[in-house]
Amino acid sequence: MREAYLDNSATTPVCRQAADKVMEMMLENYGNPSSLHTKGIEAQRELDRARSVLAGALKCRADELTFTSGATEANNLALLGGAYARRRRGNRVVISAVAHSSVMAAAAQLEKEGFEVVRIGTDAYGRIDPAEFAAAITPKTILTSMELVNNETGAIQPVSCMARAVKKVNAPALIHVDAVQAFGKIVVSPQKLGAHLLSVSAHKIRGPKGVGALYVQHGTHLLPRLYGGEQERKLRPGTEALPLIAGFGAAVQALLALSEGTAHATALRTLLLEKLGTMAGITINSPDDGLPYILNFSVPGIRSETMLHHLAQHGVYVSSGSACARGHKSHVLEAMKLDNDRIDSAIRVSFGHQNTEEDVLQLANALQTGLDTLTRRRER
Ligand code: PMP
């Protein structure tokens, strides 16, 4: 059966360049960058290369990047390491109520430890109001965090409001941006966004799973979450996962030009919206001005899992809310105050550079047969 993988916000197929690089690093360039002999020096060179490639893409200094095991770790390091480092200067942490679970859970942990955590909600399309977010930032705020692109709805959030608000009240706050779903799709520049900390992940841009990075602005102090050797400026000790890191670098190098990717995703989204428009009862949950790569909609009356299963039987892979929220009601759609029927029947389609119009047509056909058969079964 032909397969249409339309779940690229969950993860992406690894591109050939990254896969080849991972293999090369495992089989040939297998040294430990800390070793003093030739094998170590060659490995160190690859580590440096990957770091400068990523620094080039983020327009930052190479020594501002710390490789981690992914964005979950980067987000935890940012929130916990940032809050602990500043705890003497205040107690308040302000985050997006629709953040990824790795931010939500790290903030909940801070709350348990006595920090005051404020979560800022959204409008009905998942968009944060910059004035509302800014108003929550007080002179006692030590950390603020927002996602640049929401992983469930594609909403592009007003992250620059954090820097402006922090400056206005002269708060001792570190500003964190979760740029996982934005990187490789729109311009991501920590400097332009006024961020001290910014997280990215390789497996959302056709790199390998299990590697990400945290941008830490030069001069910003964080408390590490791990203690060990001298790697990653002691902020993230442990022998570097060089095959994954070098694969990440190769995936960054292989990224399409942003405009090319946007045009492609917009064409696919337009086609899908046109098809959805012909189907009765579908409601769109994503904002019009969101990232074109993500489209969230509800098929009221048919539970997400039921539709997901039906689509998978037709070779079509999408997601219900976010893959990380398996089995739970999406906290994002709840924050948007959608009714339960819409939350329970939400489907997230996310496009990748490898998708074609044929994939969208296959999805539309499978959705239509799902609507016909599953609704009928429910009515019986
Ligand atoms: N933040 C966002 C916005 C994400 O979408 C994800 C992945 N679902 C993460 C963080 C976590 O990334 P990783 O899988 O690399 O831990």
Could you please report the per-residue DSSP string of 7-19? BTTT--PPPHHHH
What pLDDT is stored for residue 326 in this prediction?
A: 56
Q: 146: CA distance to ligand 1 center in Å?
A: 13
Closest ligand 1 atom number to CA of residue 150: 3
Closest residue by Cα to residue 375 from 281, 266, 244, 270: 281
Is any atom of ligand 1 closer than 6 Å to the C-beta of 180?
yes
Phi first, then psi, for residue 349 (nearest 5°) are -105, 130
Is any atom of ligand 1 closer than 6 Å to the C-beta of 102?
yes
Is any atom of ligand 1 closer than 6 Å to the C-beta of 324?
yes
Contacts of 275 (CB under 8 A, 6+ apart): 360, 361, 364, 367
Q: Is 324 a catalytic residue?
A: yes
Is any atom of ligand 1 closer than 6 Å to the C-beta of 353?
no
Is any atom of ligand 1 closer than 6 Å to the C-beta of 359?
no
The pTM (predicted TM-score) of the whole model is: 0.97
Is any atom of ligand 1 closer than 6 Å to the C-beta of 174?
no
What pLDDT is stored for residue 327 in this prediction?
A: 63
HSE-up (13 A, CA, CB side) for residue 207: 32
Q: 201: CA distance to ligand 1 center in Å?
A: 7
Q: 16: CA distance to ligand 1 center in Å?
A: 22
Is any atom of ligand 1 closer than 6 Å to the C-beta of 8?
no
Ligand 1 binding pocket mutation candidate from 73, 102, 326 (most atoms within 8 A of CB): 102
Cβ contact 207:228 at 8 Å: no
Nearest CA to ligand 1 atom 9: 71
What pLDDT is stored for residue 213 in this prediction?
A: 98
What pLDDT is stored for residue 375 in this prediction?
A: 76
Give the pair of three-digit tokens for residue 59. 């327009």
* Low-confidence residues in the chain, pLDDT < 50: 322-324, 380
Closest ligand 1 atom number to CA of residue 99: 3
Ligand 1 binding pocket mutation candidate from 77, 79, 180, 205 (most atoms within 8 A of CB): 180
What pLDDT is stored for residue 323 in this prediction?
A: 47
Share of the chain above pLDDT 70, in %: 97
Is any atom of ligand 1 closer than 6 Å to the C-beta of 71?
yes
Cβ contact 187:207 at 8 Å: no
